[in-house]
């Protein structure tokens, strides 16, 4: 592996984003802006009941409407498309893009209208009559596990999507379980903390809804598909496969994408249906999700129930952890549905040296929208369960929450550290992160402030949370899509640099960070570098943007490709300058001989020579374009510490966040400005989970939070300015030393805000409050009712 250090020039600087000018002027092109001649519009008729058998669909009135091109029922779509593929090794019920005989959640598509415009399409969908035989619905996963009151997929008894995955101490590769170590740990315990905890269901709510334009060109036999996706290459793979086309016959384009947060990893029913209908009818078709549709049709996140038992000695030393997880995955398996909760298993050790861990996972079908990745994806859940348990331990032992953690940290010299659940943490210094946060927040001063406020009768509390997460996904052994990333760097004839990356951004600013890296690598101005992404016709190969992997994996691929071109360019330069390659330096737009600055050629001159090489240096091909696939040997494990202070209004139960301090260690940073933006966003979503966000279903499976009226997103008014601090522990996993930061903010923030609320209400004898912290719940605690 190459370990050439990157020169500290633009890398590490707060370079303004190159994406900004087009975004700030409304000049960016999103999928909804794509209009093609003859384009038709799709509208999906969706189930308005949670579970039922389709007796009959009458689409005759819809078909007869002026402007309606066609109506397809589930059975008709099933003739065009096989079941939707999944990307995990778990067995899965056949999932039809449009339901054929049974609907299994509110929002399950039952028919598709193709029409001249979206008004006609919607009116026609309203005119379709579906006659259902209602079936009982189940929304409580613990009931569903008993097969009560219904079984959603007959081939999955008791609704067990994944019956039981054991992990941790004494579990061998074949899944055989030896409980002696964990039993011993609990037998030796002087104190045991036990708590059932809910990590609630959330809606990702990317502010740009999903959308797709599919155009199958009859004469060419090829398809172009624009989709608001995080991973155009994976989209291409699956769209081609389900339409019976080759990879070479499908071009997938992710235009500007307005946020994803994990929800745009999936290849959705609408993507498949649009492509199949375009192919069938030979016309371009468009579908744009509306917001209420997004609440049912786009995957949800989280929704894991945890039964946590923590065994410890009275000095705070943790002896063992049992974590029994029940994930409510909704009605079907989507691309990564089954895999997301396994990340909770993987991260059960958190930042601690826990000698014995027994974690088990059961995944359960219910009559709800399927879950899948949402920012953090499995890791916030693990953090939440373990950190809340550590707080309860501290409370039980009357220890400072910082001290109980400090006593159990994995120490810096122990890395790489293999956890009881099989993660290999790359590098870390958890105590440093904790100390940095305590100092930055002024922990002791805050405690005094809290106590003073309490003395006046105010309900003020402090919370602290550590976190470690798994990022930089790969390697390929852990991702059926491949865990690598691809980069290509071309020095053009005029000396400018074009680069392509498979890491397809949607707000992460990769056009800037990658250009910073390449500008430094070649010693040229950043203005001379263009980063292309998001179009499989331009970007040869790619995996995509998720799992905080763009910089760590995608950035490294580009750095490697850049290294290859640089080596070749040096050979051309050496020929021109009659010098040794090893004596050349690339800087200030020139390639010069070390120690003889007068002997130099401009970058453009060498580039021009490489394309008209007369004479061609021996052993070289003309041109300057190289590519690289980077396959990481391991994941990266960023970590940090979040601290919050909140106040709860005694009369209304309304919580107010007074302070949030975050210390995040993501290894080396390319652009702190962009990193801070990512952390801000993650923190707001994590705090949103604690304070305002929750997807709620009625017992009949009706979604009660189907618009921005009922599902709250954090607003500008909700938070104080976050105080961000960093520390830097580079990863050895890639030559950049970068770990990834896109999801970090969601990890520590949720538990630290809950901890602060519990602390604020400690006078009322509470030790845990389930998510989310509704004012009503807090008011009941204050006023003596049931939480």
Partner 1 sequence: MSDATRRTIAFTLNGRRVTADVKTHETILEVLQRDFGLFGARESCGQGLCGCCTLLVDGTAVSGCLYLAAFAAGAELVTVEGLARGDELHPIQRAFVEKSGFQCGFCTPGFILMTAELLSRHPRPTNEEIRHYLSGNLCRCAAYPDIIEAVKRAAELQADRT
Per CB under 8 A, does 662 bind partner 1?
Answer: no
Q: Kindly determine how many residues on this chain lie close enough to bind partner 1 according to the rule CB under 8 A.
A: 55
- Pick the closer one to partner 1 by CB: 364 or 687: 687
| Residue entry with tokens 């129930």 | 305
- For position 451 contacting partner 1 by CB under 8 A, the verdict is no
Pick between residue 261 and residue 332 the one whose CB is nearest to ligand FES: 261
Residue 291 C-beta: closest distance to ligand FES, Å: 7
- Side-chain-side CA neighbours of 729 within 13 Å: the count stands at 22
Q: Which residue is nearest to ligand FES (CB)?
A: 207
Residues at the contact surface with ligand FES, assessed by CB under 6 A: 207, 259, 507
- Binding-site partner at residue 216 among partner 1, ligand FES, none, CB < 5 to 8 Å by type: none
Out of 1, 24, 164, 537, the only residue in the binding site for partner 1 (CB under 8 A) is: 24
Instruction: Please report how close the Cβ of residue 291 comes to partner 1 at its closest, in angstroms.
Output: 4
Among the listed residues 375, 381, 443, the one whose alpha carbon sits nearest the alpha carbon of residue 659:
443
Cβ proximity to ligand FES: between 141 and 745 the closer is 745
522 contacts: CB under 8 Å, gap ≥ 6: 491, 497, 562, 566, 586, 603
745-760 and 379-397 helices, crossing angle to 10°: 30
Min CB(100)–ligand FES separation in Å: 34
> Any contact of residue 677 with partner 1 (CB under 8 A)?
yes
Adjacent-strand bridge partners of 321: 310, 357
DSSP notation for 752-767: HHHHHHHHHTGGGT--
Yes or no: say if 770 and 751 are a contact pair by the CB < 8 Å rule.
Answer: no
**Which residue in 575, 683, 695, 703 binds partner 1 (CB under 8 A)?**
683
Give strand pairing partners of 358.
Answer: 168, 322
**Between residues 291 and 783, which has the closer beta carbon with respect to partner 1?**
291
* Category of 516 on φ-ψ map: left (φ > 0), alpha (ψ -120 to 50) or beta: alpha
> 578-583 — which CB contacts under 8 Å span 24+ positions?
none
Beta carbon of residue 538, minimum distance to partner 1 (angstroms, whole number): 21
The residue (of 263 and 644) whose beta carbon lies closer to ligand FES is 263
What whole-number distance in Å separates Cα of residue 726 and Cα of residue 638? 11
DSSP string, 5-48: PPPTTTTTS-PPPTTHHHHHTT---BGGG---TT-EEEEEEE-S
Question: What does the block give as tokens for 630?
Answer: 């980077």
- Of 23 and 218, the one with the shorter C-beta distance to ligand FES is 23
Residues 183-212 that bind partner 1 (CB under 8 A): 205-209
> Under the criterion CB under 8 A, does residue 439 sit at the interface with partner 1?
no
Binding mask 587-626 for partner 1 (x = CB under 8 A): ----------------------------------------
Is the omega angle on the peptide bond into residue 403 within 30 degrees of 0, that is, cis? no
Q: Which two tokens stand for residue 230?
A: 């995080």
Q: Figure out which of the listed residues 76, 108, 256, 429 binds partner 1, where binding follows CB under 8 A.
A: 256
Q: Is 673 in the site for partner 1 (CB under 8 A)?
A: yes
Residue that has been written with the tokens 């601690």 in this structure: 352
Give whichever of 417 and 546 is closer to ligand FES, judged by the CB atom: 546
Return the residues of window 110-139 that contact partner 1 according to CB under 8 A: 119
| Dihedral in degrees, nearest 10, Cα atoms 388, 389, 391, 396 | 150
Q: How far is the CB of 507 from ligand FES (least distance, A)?
A: 5
Three-state secondary-structure class, residue 141: helix
Label residue 468 left, alpha or beta by phi (over 0 means left) and psi (-120 to 50 means alpha): beta
* Beta carbon nearer to partner 1, 28 or 585: 28
Per-residue contact flags (x/-) with partner 1 for residues 267 to 306, judged by CB under 8 A: -----------------------xxx--------------
Among ligand FES, partner 1, none, the one that 205 touches (CB under a kind-dependent 5 to 8 A) is: partner 1
Binder of residue 715, out of ligand FES, partner 1, none (CB less than 5 to 8 A by kind): partner 1
CB 743, CB 454: distance < 8 Å: no
Smallest gap from residue 578 Cβ to ligand FES (A): 53
Q: Which of 5, 20, 622, 698 binds partner 1 (CB under 8 A)?
A: 20
Give the C-alpha distances (Å, rounded to integers) separating 583 from 2, 403, 573, 578, 634.
19, 54, 11, 11, 35
Answer for which of 257, 399, 584, 691 binds partner 1 (CB under 8 A) is 257
Q: Is 240 helix (H, G, I), strand (E, B) or coil?
A: helix
Only one of the segments 47-55, 78-86, 163-171, 672-680 lies at the binding site for partner 1 (rule: CB under 8 A); that segment is: 672-680
Say which entry of partner 1, ligand FES, none residue 411 contacts (CB below 5 to 8 A, set by partner kind). none
Q: Are 310 and 348 in contact (CB under 8 A)?
A: no
Under the binding rule (CB under 8 A), the answer on residue 784 touching partner 1 is: no
- Work out which of 477, 619, 716, 784 binds partner 1, going by CB under 8 A: 716
- Cβ neighbourhood burial of 754 (10 Å; 0-12, 13-18, 19+): buried
Contacts of 324 (CB under 8 A, 6+ apart): 306, 307, 308, 359, 360
Nearer to ligand FES, 482 or 509 (CB): 509
Long-range contacts of 56-59 (CB under 8 A, 24+ apart): 56/130, 56/131, 57/110, 57/111, 57/128, 57/129, 57/130, 57/131, 58/128, 58/129, 58/130, 58/131, 59/111, 59/128
Check residue 4 for interaction with partner 1 (CB under 8 A). no
Check binding of 411 to partner 1 (CB under 8 A): no
Least gap, CB of 741 to partner 1 (angstroms)? 13
CB of 708 to ligand FES, least distance (A): 8
Sites of contact with partner 1 (CB under 8 A):
16-17, 19-21, 23-30, 32-33, 119, 205-209, 256-259, 261, 290-292, 506-509, 673, 676-678, 680-681, 683-685, 688, 707-709, 713-719, 721-722
């Amino acid at each position: 592996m190459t370990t050439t250090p990157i020169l500290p020039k633009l890398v590490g600087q707060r370079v303004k984003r190159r994406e900004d000018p087009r975004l700030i002027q409304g000049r960016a092109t999103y999928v909804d802006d794509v209009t093609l001649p003859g384009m038709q519009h799709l509208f999906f008729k969706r189930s308005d009941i949670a579970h039922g058998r389709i007796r009959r669909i009458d689409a005759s009135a819809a078909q007869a409407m002026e402007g309606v091109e066609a109506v397809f029922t589930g059975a008709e779509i099933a003739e065009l498309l096989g079941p939707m593929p999944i990307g995990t090794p778990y067995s899965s019920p056949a999932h039809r893009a449009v339901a054929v005989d049974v609907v299994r959640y509110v929002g399950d598509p039952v028919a598709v209208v193709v029409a001249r415009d979206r008004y006609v399409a919607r009116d026609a969908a309203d005119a379709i009559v579906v006659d259902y035989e209602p079936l009982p619905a189940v929304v409580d996963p613990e009931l569903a596990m008993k097969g009560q009151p219904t079984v959603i997929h007959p081939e999955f008894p008791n609704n067990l999507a994944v019956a039981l995955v054991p992990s941790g101490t004494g579990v061998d590769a074949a899944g055989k379980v030896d409980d002696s170590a964990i039993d011993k740990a609990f037998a030796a315990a002087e104190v045991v903390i036990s708590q059932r905890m809910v990590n609630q269901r959330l809606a990702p709510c990317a502010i740009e809804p999903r959308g797709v334009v599919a155009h199958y060109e009859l004469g060419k036999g090829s398809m172009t598909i624009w989709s608001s996706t995080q991973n155009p290459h994976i989209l291409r793979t699956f769209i081609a496969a389900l339409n019976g086309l080759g990879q070479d016959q499908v071009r997938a384009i992710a235009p500007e994408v307005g946020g994803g947060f994990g929800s745009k990893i999936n290849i959705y029913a609408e993507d498949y249906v649009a492509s199949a209908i375009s192919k069938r009818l030979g016309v371009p078709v468009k579908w744009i999700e509306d917001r209420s549709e997004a609440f049912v049709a786009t995957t949800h996140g989280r929704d894991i129930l945890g039964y946590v038992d923590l065994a410890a000695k009275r000095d705070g030393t943790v002896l063992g952890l049992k974590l029994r997880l029940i994930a409510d995955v909704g009605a079907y398996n989507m691309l990564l549905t089954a895999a997301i909760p396994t990340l909770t298993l993987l991260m059960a050790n958190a930042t601690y040296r826990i000698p014995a861990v027994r974690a088990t996972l059961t995944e359960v079908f219910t009559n709800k929208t399927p879950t899948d990745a949402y920012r953090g994806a499995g890791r916030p859940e693990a953090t939440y369960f373990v950190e809340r348990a550590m707080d309860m331990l501290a409370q039980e032992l009357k220890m400072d929450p910082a001290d109980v953690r400090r006593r159990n940290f994995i120490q810096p010299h122990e890395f790489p550290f293999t956890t009881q659940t099989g993660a290999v943490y790359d590098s870390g210094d958890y105590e440093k992160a904790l100390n940095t946060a305590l100092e930055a927040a002024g922990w002791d001063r805050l405690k005094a402030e809290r106590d003073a406020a309490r003395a006046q009768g105010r309900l003020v509390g402090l919370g602290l949370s550590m976190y470690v997460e798994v990022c930089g996904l790969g390697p390929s052994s852990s991702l059926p899509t491949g865990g690598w990333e691809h980069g290509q760097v071309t020095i053009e004839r005029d000396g400018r640099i074009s680069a392509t990356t498979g890491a397809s951004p949607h707000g992460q600013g990769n056009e800037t960070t990658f250009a910073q890296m390449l500008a430094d690598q070649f010693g040229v101005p950043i203005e001379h570098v263009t980063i292309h992404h998001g179009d499989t016709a331009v970007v040869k190969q790619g995996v995509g943007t998720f799992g905080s992997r763009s910089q760590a994996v995608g950035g490294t691929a580009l750095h490697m490709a850049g290294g290859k071109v640089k080596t070749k360019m040096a050979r051309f330069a050496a020929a021109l300058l009659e010098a040794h390659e090893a004596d050349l330096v690339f800087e200030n737009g020139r390639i010069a001989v070390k120690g003889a600055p007068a002997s130099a050629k401009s970058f453009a001159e060498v580039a021009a020579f490489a394309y008209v090489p007369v004479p061609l240096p021996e052993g070289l091909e003309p041109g300057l374009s190289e590519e690289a696939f980077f396959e990481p040997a391991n994941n990266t494990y960023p970590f940090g510490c979040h601290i919050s202070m909140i106040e709860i209004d005694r009369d209304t139960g309304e919580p107010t966040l007074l302070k949030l301090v975050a210390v995040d260690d993501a290894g080396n940073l390319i652009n702190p400005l962009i990193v801070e933006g990512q952390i801000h966003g993650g923190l707001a979503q994590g705090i949103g989970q604690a304070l305002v966000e929750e997807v709620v279903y009625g017992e009949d499976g009706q979604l009660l939070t189907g618009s921005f009226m009922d599902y709250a997103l954090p607003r500008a008014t909700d938070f104080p300015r976050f105080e961000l601090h960093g520390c830097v522990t580079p990863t050895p996993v890639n030559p950049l030393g970068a770990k990834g930061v896109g999801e970090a903010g969601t990890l520590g923030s949720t538990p630290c805000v809950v901890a602060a609320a519990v602390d604020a209400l400690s006078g009322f004898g509470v030790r845990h409050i389930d998510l989310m912290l509704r004012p009503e719940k807090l008011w009941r605690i204050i006023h003596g009712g049931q939480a």
